[in-house]
């Protein structure tokens, strides 16, 4: 086993450190979402203001990703340094929730999202420098860490029920700071580094002009239409189930159900990575989106029980809605110009997260129009349908031979 060949034991330690650091920093993403009921009560927030606590992070991520892509930041700055600084900024912006009110909180959430735009894409690129064989699984492991980090605030809120909401903010800010320190002191670039780029803003447009890359991105955009809206509103859906007198068995509370549904995605990410390296990126992503779209359809049918059916469908959705996410990024590292992989990843993620803003905004409007949350998730179904079609189209193209060692 040789580290330089991409098969040595050193890469496993590096991958574990990257995952651990990302997990800590990504706890800041949904830190405010997990305490929205508390903030509505304490700050007398309107539902629109409360929704912006989530959407501001998405918009901040989009702004940060687009700016970073336009100046090729992930390709011209050392990745470990960029991630460490951005993670520290995310921790500080998250902690600002402790000393501000509604308006300041929305601004702080925007700043958190901008910082995370310089954590997530560079960390994906960094993981790719350690793995040639098994890249899909490695990327899946990192998105599993992101998933657990995103779920963690719900767990902290469930475990501190009855305790001041600031405990969630303290816990997530400290976790993000620890993740940043990990990147600053222990993480380094692997032996399979990408070519160092020079500033060239024209390279950002390649994701629209390269047909194969465009199809991979359309697949990702369909996936993102569904993912974050589900993550953002599963707590509201579970709370509606509780209000209807149907406890989210067997989890006991709406917050705990939200935690397990989001956290279950870690299993999907690992399974998706393993499958992608064996049966291909296109098959795996199309299959995951078919399953997650079916779950979005079924959630309304199991709203009023039986409770076990609701729990099983929700968990399956949690597994499949994120299980393919890393494979779109893996595809970009295999299809894009190697000198601008970081730019391609960052712009892919930036556009994808821009779509999440619209989806997050639409879902509660659908719930209001439909008279409740039961069928609100139907508006998410078109995303995985379009995404699966794009990936199956990519599979038929000759460029797909570059994916997963030819597994397509």
Q: With 50 as the cut, is the pLDDT of residue 333 above it? A: yes
Tell whether 249 is covered by a domain.
yes
Q: With 90 as the cut, is the pLDDT of residue 77 above it? A: no
Q: Are 377 and 230 in contact (CB under 8 A)?
A: yes
Tell whether 85 is covered by a domain.
yes
Question: Where residue 205 falls among pLDDT bands split at 50, 70, 90?
Answer: low
pLDDT at res. 405: 67
Long-range contacts, 244-253 (Cβ 8 Å, 24+): 244/303, 244/304, 246/303, 246/304, 246/305, 246/307, 246/310, 247/307, 248/307, 248/310, 248/311, 248/314, 249/307, 249/308, 249/310, 249/311, 250/307, 250/308, 250/311, 251/311, 253/158, 253/161
Burial bucket for residue 178 (CB in 10 Å: 0-12, 13-18, 19+): middle
Buried b (16+ CB within 10 A) or exposed e, 373-389: bbbbbebbbebbebbbb
Q: With 60 as the cut, is the pLDDT of residue 248 above it? A: no
User: Mind giving me the DSSP string for 229-248?
Assistant: HHHHHHHHHHHHHHHTT---
210: left (phi over 0), alpha (psi -120 to 50) or beta: beta
Among 67-76, 164-173, 393-402, the least confident range: 67-76
Question: Where residue 3 falls among pLDDT bands split at 50, 70, 90?
Answer: very low
pLDDT at res. 285: 93
- Give the H or E element holding residue 309: helix 307-323
Residue with tokens 């730019």: 343
For residues 293-305, give the mean pLDDT.
90
pLDDT at res. 2: 43
Q: With 60 as the cut, is the pLDDT of residue 195 above it? A: no
CATH number at residue 102: 1.20.1250.20
Residue span of the structural domain in which 345 resides:
7-187+203-406
Tell whether 2 is covered by a domain.
no
Tens of pLDDT, residue by residue over 252-273, are 778 788 888 988 998 998 898 8
Tell whether 195 is covered by a domain.
no
Question: Where residue 286 falls among pLDDT bands split at 50, 70, 90?
Answer: very high
Q: With 80 as the cut, is the pLDDT of residue 246 above it? A: no
Tell whether 135 is covered by a domain.
yes
Tell whether 1 is covered by a domain.
no
pLDDT at res. 138: 85
Tell whether 248 is covered by a domain.
yes
Q: With 90 as the cut, is the pLDDT of residue 126 above it? A: no
Tell whether 264 is covered by a domain.
yes
**Rounded to two decimals, what is the model's pTM?**
0.76
Count of domains observed in the chain: 1
């Amino acid at each position: 086993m040789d580290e330089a060949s991409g098969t040595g034991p050193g890469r496993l330690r590096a991958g574990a450190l990257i995952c651990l650091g990302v997990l800590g920093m990504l706890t800041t993403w949904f830190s405010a979402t997990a305490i929205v009921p508390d903030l509505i009560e304490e700050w007398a927030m309107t539902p629109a203001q409360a929704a912006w606590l989530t959407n501001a992070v998405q918009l901040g991520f989009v702004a940060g990703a687009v700016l970073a892509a336009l100046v090729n930041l992930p390709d011209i700055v050392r990745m470990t340094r960029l991630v460490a600084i951005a993670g520290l900024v995310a921790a500080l912006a998250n902690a600002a929730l402790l000393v501000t009110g509604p308006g300041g909180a929305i601004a702080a959430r925007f700043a958190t999202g901008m910082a995370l735009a310089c954590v997530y894409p560079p960390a994906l690129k960094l993981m790719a420098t350690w793995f040639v064989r098994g890249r899909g699984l490695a990327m899946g492991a990192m998105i599993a860490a992101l998933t657990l980090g995103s779920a963690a605030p719900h767990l902290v809120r469930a475990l501190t029920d009855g305790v001041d909401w600031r405990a969630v903010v303290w816990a997530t800010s400290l976790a993000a700071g620890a993740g940043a320190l990990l990147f600053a002191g222990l993480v380094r670039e692997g032996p399979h580094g990408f070519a160092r780029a020079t500033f060239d803003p024209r390279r950002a447009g390649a994701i629209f002009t390269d047909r194969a890359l465009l199809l991979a991105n359309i697949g990702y955009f369909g996936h993102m239409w569904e993912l974050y809206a589900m993550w953002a509103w599963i707590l509201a859906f579970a709370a509606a189930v509780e209000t209807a007198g149907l406890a989210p068995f067997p989890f006991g509370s709406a917050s705990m159900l939200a935690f397990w549904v989001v956290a279950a995605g870690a299993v999907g990410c690992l399974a998706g990575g393993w499958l992608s390296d064996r049966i291909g990126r296109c098959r795996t992503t199309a299959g995951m989106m078919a399953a997650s779209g079916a779950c979005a359809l079924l959630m309304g049918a199991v709203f009023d029980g039986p409770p076990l059916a609701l729990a099983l469908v929700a968990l399956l959705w949690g597994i499949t809605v994120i299980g393919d996410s890393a494979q779109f990024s893996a595809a970009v590292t295999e299809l894009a110009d190697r000198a601008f992989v970081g730019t391609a990843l960052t712009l892919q993620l930036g556009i994808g997260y821009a779509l999440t803003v619209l989806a997050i905004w639409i879902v509660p409007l659908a719930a209001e129009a439909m008279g409740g949350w039961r069928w609100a998730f139907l508006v998410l179904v078109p995303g995985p349908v379009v995404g699966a079609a794009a990936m199956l189209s990519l599979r038929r193209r000759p460029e797909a031979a570059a994916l997963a060692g030819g597994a397509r």
